[in-house]
Structure 1
Amino acid sequence: MKEALYENYNLRIDKTINFFGFEGFFYRNILYCIVPNSNLELEEIFELKQMSDYLIQNGDIRVASILPTTSGQLISTINEQNSIVVRCPVHDRRTSESIGKELARFHKKGRSFPYRVTRLSRIGQWKYLWEKRLDQMEMFWKEKVRQHPENSFERLFVEAFPYYIGLTENAIQYLVDTELDEYPAPIDSATICHHRFTEMTWDKNYFFKLPTDWVYDHYTRDIAEYIRDQHSIGETKINNQIYHFMNDYERVSPLSPFSWRLLYARLLFPLHFFECIEGYYLVSSEEKMKREEQRLTTIINDSSDHERFLSNFFNQVGVQKRKLNLPDVSWLAR
């Protein structure tokens, strides 16, 4: 690793550190992070570099920058795998600002990103991506039904999937109705978002932001995934973290009626179920497969609680549905 870093980046290691779950190191009091790259293509990394450079130039001191090699390449081989090296911001401890306000400011800056994004753009693609994911899983499910389930995980999957077909179709219909009924406001233009935004995405002490997890999308993507994660870890019941998060976000950047409906459509989409099924077949160890089975059991057992959460969502975050003309999903309201 030392040889590769010196040869490719002219960097030495003064001290190593674990950072964001990745290998990090200090050189001349500057923190660098080595991010293994398994799925990003060169064009995508170039777009990520453009985004991070733009945010840094426009005053976001907490964004990490992608470091080219001495020969100008954005990917290098470190520890026998393709990697991206990022230079982290100065250790400037954040103020007491909340994650909601910080995310709203991040989206506000990202909305003025001036370059065209093609490879990382997801704006306007949710319907297509959800339908594609549903069709693929439905084909897989039919095959499992035909072959008969081999174990307890597959039996759970085969029995539960028709319910999640219905929930996914509801999400798609809610999205389609939103695009037909509501006109997007200026705030609904694309911005820099995260593939999956949770409380753990940014370092809690400094709000460091690694660009390797970014996409270009509607800002409610990040809000929905944060809320989904908070609900899954029980924060909804404990301290109403979701209400405070939304309240803080809207102090900086109020949501439009179009945004509220788009946010709700994304919450309706049962991403947690899809990821659990896909995760089970991607892992190889018995232990990880068992973990995914336990996760699926929990998802199915908590389905009534999840329905209540979706049914009460607008009330919980203090939104007047009638004022903003936000429709209910009738079967959830029963």
Structure 2
Amino acid sequence: MKNAIQYYYNLNPVDIHQKDDIYYFKVNNTRFFVYPLSRDEKELNSIYQVDIELLNKNFLVHQIILNKQKNIVTVINEIPYVLFKSFIKKNDSIDIDDINYFQSNTETKKHDFFLDKSNWVSLWENKNDYLEYQVSQFGIKYPLICETFSYYIGLAENAILYTKNTTMELKPDFSDSLVISHRRINNYTTLFDLYNPLEFIIDYKVRDISEYIKFKFFYDKQNLWEEINSCFSNNNFSLYSVRMLFARLLYPTYYFDLYDQIIEGERDEKDLHFIIKKQEEYEDFLCDIYNYLSLKYPIPPVEWLTKKL
């Protein structure tokens, strides 16, 4: 890797170390890392433009470094990589204040075809159709998925309906601007990930917040309500945003992400037990969230949930 970095970037790295598939090094006390490409190449120019715009605003996300041929991607040993300069000095796990700070600096008026993921209904409906077809082909290969899948598809359909009703009844106001968001905020997300342009998309700010809340509930719910209170103290959410946040809390990303990892051979199907065992508790949490939000905003109920109250 050292020779490739010298050849393609005219940099002389010191003390390269590898963690997972990422290579880290310093040049004159400046931090760099070489990251395997994890995005469709059609998205790269849009990501690069977002990166430049944020850096020009002095918001120090990781900086994409072009190679000698002025290309974003460098293929090394048949693997495509992107080189970044990093300004992050520590790689702690994130909290909700980190997300709020990031979003307050990344509002955008862009409606980029490749990065804009704000049409949740279309994305979720397509995902449901794909997953339902895929599960219908399993036979007995994944018995636990087959046993639990209909429940989580039902949750997803609830989320879709709630989102549809919100977008039909309300329009975003000036506080509902799009921001730079992330493909996924989960229990593994660190500051390093938060500032990594290869994770960037464009969406409403409640996307990252709701994903954080969901994964925090399942994997580390200590202080979760304190963080939720902090989030609402530091944000002036519109009714539109609050309804979209609740819709996204209904959507079972935590199940579908694990499902994908199981199908791709990265996780064992038995890992689903952890999620399934907590599902009734999560329903109670959704009731609590609904009560919390309805004290501040006139949000519509989800009938089967409110029957639990």
TM score, norm. by length of structure 1: 0.83
Matched, 1:178 2:166: yes
1:131-142 residue pairs with structure 2 within 5 A?
131-142=125-136
Give the counterpart of 2:206 among 220, 244, 262.
220
1:182-218 superposed Cα distances (whole Å, 9 cap, x missing partner): 23121212110011123643338xx971111110111
Change (3 A) 1:221 1:254: same
State the secondary structure of the residue aligned to 1:324. coil
State the secondary structure of the residue aligned to 1:255. coil
State the secondary structure of the residue aligned to 2:66. coil
State the secondary structure of the residue aligned to 1:196. coil
1:263-289 superposed Cα distances (whole Å, 9 cap, x missing partner): 111111112222222221211xxxx4x
Give the counterpart of 1:167 among 136, 139, 155.
155
1:57 maps to what in 2? 56
Could you tell me how far apart the structure 1 residues matched to 2:238 and 2:132 are? Answer: 34
State the secondary structure of the residue aligned to 2:191. coil
1:241-281 superposed Cα distances (whole Å, 9 cap, x missing partner): 2x332333344432111111101111111122222222212
Could you tell me how far apart the structure 1 residues matched to 2:22 and 2:164 are? Answer: 40
Could you tell me how far apart the structure 2 residues matched to 1:208 and 1:191 are? Answer: 13
Paired AA for residue 202 in structure 1: T
1:252-271 residue pairs with structure 2 within 5 A?
252-271=234-253
Maintained 8 Å contact 1:25/1:31:
yes
Stretches of structure 2 that go unaligned for 5 or more consecutive residues are none
Could you tell me how far apart the structure 1 residues matched to 2:154 and 2:110 are? Answer: 39
Paired AA for residue 189 in structure 2: T
State the secondary structure of the residue aligned to 1:24. strand
1:37-76 residue pairs with structure 2 within 5 A?
37-41=37-41, 43-61=42-60, 63-76=61-74
Maintained 8 Å contact 2:181/2:207:
yes
Matched, 1:248 2:224: no
Maintained 8 Å contact 2:21/2:35:
no
1:229 maps to what in 2? 215
Give the counterpart of 1:332 among 298, 305, 308.
305
TM score, norm. by length of structure 2: 0.89
2:105 maps to what in 1? 109
Alpha-carbon deviation of 1:38? Answer: 4.0
Change (3 A) 1:277 1:200: closer
2:10 maps to what in 1? 10
Maintained 8 Å contact 1:130/1:172:
yes
Could you tell me how far apart the structure 1 residues matched to 2:128 and 2:219 are? Answer: 25
Change (3 A) 1:156 1:201: closer
Aligned length: 306
Alpha-carbon deviation of 1:102? Answer: 3.4
Maintained 8 Å contact 1:15/1:27:
no
- Aligned-residue Cα RMSD (Å) equals 2.5
Higher mean alpha-carbon deviation, 251-260 vs 265-274, is at 251-260
Paired AA for residue 7 in structure 2: E
Matched, 1:29 2:32: no
State the secondary structure of the residue aligned to 1:77. strand
Alpha-carbon deviation of 1:142? Answer: 2.6
Maintained 8 Å contact 1:110/1:191:
yes
1:279 maps to what in 2? 261
Alpha-carbon deviation of 1:71? Answer: 1.9
1:20-51 superposed Cα distances (whole Å, 9 cap, x missing partner): 9721100111110111014331x412211221
Maintained 8 Å contact 1:167/1:270:
yes
Maintained 8 Å contact 1:74/1:84:
yes
Maintained 8 Å contact 2:2/2:13:
yes
Change (3 A) 1:127 1:199: same
Could you tell me how far apart the structure 2 residues matched to 1:282 and 1:90 are? Answer: 31
